Structure 1
């Protein structure tokens, strides 16, 4: 027979708390009572053996962490998302644990053994998370160059960390897989990049042997009033480089672009536009198009 006193327990204050199944049983609840509370939405099963008062997604990570070792911290893709620069989506929850730590198998959780200690974690979303620079460097080591560059740019753009933080962190990863790539890309990271394709186009130019372009160049009229902003460019050569995505197919945008292009051409700017076909399937075409315009 159910204990009505426990079933009517005051759950105020539990909204931000999580309970293991064993803790609920230890408090005096029976298995049947826990089941009924879950059926009537007074408790929610958030993860295996973890319950809480709210089904909110933000409780998902804390629920998982109740099942992980105390040494675990969020990192990699999940850490980048919590820090605000999760440019590469990944549905799994990625955590970092010390080498040799025993981690239970949890569906959807990927545990990375840390060769390099994480250092002091920061608390985001109710869970301990590796510092932003650590998440960025770990991903810069493992992702493709074309994916790593936008992530590093975005990390700086949102202010998750500073360039010196990235330089200091990558120095700690000596001899780890992919560290050479991370060391090459970190000096190129630029917070002025405004989209993924812009970052990738900039990398194509640099990898193709061209000088690093300046992101987000403002072009002014004769009175010094800024009129137009270019994705990338070489100010001294008056060469502009832009990525045209699907938004440029809009009729209103097309009219604006035509007026803009005519003004830039009349004022000595040589503009070159590229699409996803160029960026992802024929990057050599981009280099051969721009090289003659940038020769000394």
Structure 2
């Protein structure tokens, strides 16, 4: 079967935002084969969706994990297809399909991959209600970062879910969601600190030199207290990266910043250590008066 190609304007007309297209290329769901020409990394996915839809009630729309993937922010891998159907619908048993019966009508559905899909905000809020918190906030951040929806869209959709299971969690996480967060671990570090009773740190802070030039960008931080927080993944373990990090730390220290660095072990196995270390750094610094 010949590879199906898409022109950039076609992707936009199908409902993808510019940010969603860019993110799909970054994570490998789309492949750029020429100027303005893209190929689907999984060319049979759309066919699977259309074939499944033929066996479902006419009101069925794709949502949850499947909807998030189609909108470009499917941060949580999920092999099953997810559809939303009206409550009390008769849905045949189909291997690999999860049907979510909902009393809340699906509004503002869009057509993606030639199938009906719940709006990006509906998919994001449904997942924010039902996923673990550490998975939900990174997904909301990514939905904003890739341009699939805006903060106001999430707030309106959350209000529509009032009274449904998990809406309190979704409401809190929507308030925390931030498009500036650039990776899953940054989002999770922010959540660990907030859940530990600290103020939300600001993502992606630029630190300027005495002439006003942006020199260093921090993963997270508290500008007023000059406390910075960095997530050190595996890329930080190379000899060249260690030299670069040491130079950054020396420069930041000279500018009056106190830094705290955390690893995957800290984030996932001892979150209390992350909170305690950050609280200690904050308590040792008094906000500068202006």
Structure with the larger RCO, 1 or 2 (CA within 8 Å, 6+ apart): 2
In the superposition, the TM-score normalised over structure 1's length comes to: 0.80
Number of the residue aligned with 1:256: 244
Report the equivalent of 2:160. Answer: 172
Kindly report the root-mean-square deviation, in angstroms, between the aligned alpha carbons of the 2 structures. Answer: 1.4
**2:91 — aligned with what?**
103
Task: Say yes or no: does 1:236 pair with 2:197.
Answer: no
Q: Secondary structure at the match of 1:97?
A: strand
State the TM-score, normalized to the length of structure 2. Answer: 0.81
* 1:82 corresponds to: 70
Where does structure 2 lack aligned partners over 5 or more consecutive residues? 5-42, 284-290
* Distance apart, 1:260 and its partner CA: 0.9
CA offset digits 1:74-115 (Å, max 9, x no partner)? 000000010111111100000001111111111111111111
CA positional deviation for 1:256: 1.1
Shift of 1:194: 0.2
Q: For 1:90 and 1:57, locate their aligned partners in 2 and report how far apart those are by CA, in whole Å.
A: 13
In structure 1, list runs of 5 or more residues that go unmatched: 1-14, 17-54
> 2:123, 2:200 → 1: CA distance?
26
Residue-pair matches, total = 243
Runs of 4+ in 1 over 2 A off after TM superposition: 55-58
1:219 aligns with 2:207: yes
Determine helix, strand or coil for the equivalent of 2:261.
Answer: strand
Structure 1 residue 225: deviation in Å? Answer: 0.8
Which residues in structure 2 correspond to 1:112-151 (within 5 Å)?
A: 112-151=100-139
Provide, for residues 59-84 of structure 1, a one-character-per-residue CA deviation record: whole Å limited to 9, x for no partner. Answer: 12111112212111000000001011
Q: For 1:266 and 1:164, how far apart are their aligned partners in 2?
A: 40
Deviation at residue 213 of structure 1 after TM alignment: 0.7
Task: Find the aligned partners of 1:87 and 1:231 in 2 and give their Cα distance.
Answer: 19
In 2: Cα distance, 1:184 partner to 1:127 partner = 31
Equivalent residues in 2 for 1:3-18, closer than 5 Å: none
- 1:288 equivalent in alignment to 2:276: yes
Of stretches 72-81 and 56-65 in structure 1, the one that deviates more from structure 2 is 56-65
DSSP 3-state at the match of 2:228: strand
| Separation in structure 1 between the aligned mates of residue 162 and residue 95 of structure 2, nearest angstrom | 32
